[in-house]
Amino acid sequence: MTAKVTKDKLWKGIIEDCFEDFFRFFYPEWADWIDFERGMEFLDKELEQLMPESADNPRYVDKLVKLHTKQGKEHWILIHIEIQGYRDKDFAERMFIYFYRIFDKHRRPINAIAILTDGSPGFHPQSFEYSFMNTRLAYHFDTYKLLEKKQADFYLQSDNPFSIVLETAWGSLKAKKGIKLLELKKKAARRLFQSGLTRKKVESILDFIRFYVKFNRWEKENTFKFERFISELTQNKEAMAFGVTERIMEALKEEALEKGMKQGMKQGMEKGMEKGIEKGIRESIARLLQKGFLPEKVSDMLDVSLEMVAEVQEQLNQSSEEDE
């Protein structure tokens, strides 16, 4: 599969980068009980082993986080997070299977939450129930259905930066209902830059705002308008490249390499492979330039020469003139 800056990657990245904010947003009453100074441990590899991905069981975003409490050195809990982006009749059962496999392995307190990012109004699983003869089982888990929220809900904890993340994801669902995406992204970015967060956290959330909500192809000018807005907010010419994290850079590099390798394999020889890889890289350069990134930053992100970036920019300029 071609590597892309997918919503999957964005959710995984933002939860890791802003986990304390995530926890405080959903569980403010429990936050003082957690010893955040000891950090947290992401056990995602364990989840993959407990529930291997398959054609019948595709994985969207799931995370397992180990947190220490203030009750003692060896007292820790587990938070199981699912980001579910599509209707799935077996979702509640899968949540239960995760629970008993995690519990069987660790025998520790577990809290599970599912953030439902799908666009199906009737889809809101909250429990799994089983009964046979005289045996009864009911497993309830926490849920947060974005489609059911109102914009005001994201301002109940306006000082928590994760509310910006959730409002951005909510806006992408509401786009077909008259919500103007450009204004939504501007508003989210304005809140972000007024929050007083560290640069690293601002970069991470700005990545989410920039790449999670995408404009249609015929709205290309909105991409440039948004980047100019970011530039004005930061009053920095380099701001158009502000917020590109390692995760996104890796995805772009992987995509360029894979595209090139596929084309090279078609040509069936080493020279063809090299040409194919170069073509894939040039396509990635063109996409970044079209999104408004500065040539210097594109060169740094993809580890290519400024001369190559300049060549691609010249080709784009010529193509634009021919279209006119």
Residues in CB range of 125: below 8 A, 6 or more apart: 91, 92, 95, 114, 143
Residue appearing with tokens 């949540």: 95
pTM attached to this predicted model? 0.72
Q: Where are the alpha helices (DSSP H) in 27-83?
A: 44-50
Alpha-carbon distance of 308 to 21, in angstroms, equals 41
Contact (CB, 8 A) for 13 and 250: no
The DSSP 8-state label assigned to residue 291 in this structure reads T
For 260-312, write each residue's pLDDT tens digit.
555 555 555 455 556 666 777 788 888 778 766 777 777 777 777 888 888 88
For 218-240, write each residue's pLDDT tens digit.
666 787 788 888 888 776 534 44
Residue appearing with tokens 């959903």: 26
The DSSP 8-state label assigned to residue 69 in this structure reads B
For the four alpha carbons of 48, 124, 165 and 206, in that order, the dihedral sign comes to: positive
Rounded-to-10 torsion of CA 194, 195, 198, 202: -70
Q: Would you list the DSSP string of 173-224? A: HHGGGT--HHHHHHHHHHHHHTTT--HHHHHHHHHHHHHHS---GGGHHHHH
Q: Which two tokens stand for residue 113?
A: 């939450």
Q: What are the strands, taking DSSP E only, across the chain?
A: 40-42, 61-68, 76-84, 110-116, 127-132, 135-140, 142-145
Tens of pLDDT along the chain (324 residues) come to 334 568 888 999 999 999 999 999 999 999 999 999 999 999 988 777 776 665 555 555 689 999 999 988 789 999 999 999 999 999 999 999 999 999 999 999 999 999 999 999 999 999 999 999 999 999 999 999 999 999 899 999 989 999 999 999 998 888 765 568 888 889 999 999 888 888 889 989 998 998 888 877 666 678 778 888 888 877 653 444 444 455 555 566 655 555 555 555 555 545 555 666 677 778 888 877 876 677 777 777 777 788 888 888 888 877 765 555
Q: What SS3 class is residue 71?
A: coil
Q: Which two tokens stand for residue 308?
A: 């190559």
133: left (phi over 0), alpha (psi -120 to 50) or beta: left
**C-alpha pair distances (Å), 185 with each of 208, 249, 261:** 10, 21, 36
Contact (CB, 8 A) for 127 and 138: yes
Alpha-carbon distance of 92 to 278, in angstroms, equals 46
In terms of Cα–Cα distance, which of 76, 69, 10 is closest to 43? 76
The DSSP 8-state label assigned to residue 100 in this structure reads H
Number of CB atoms found within 10 A of residue 152's CB: 7
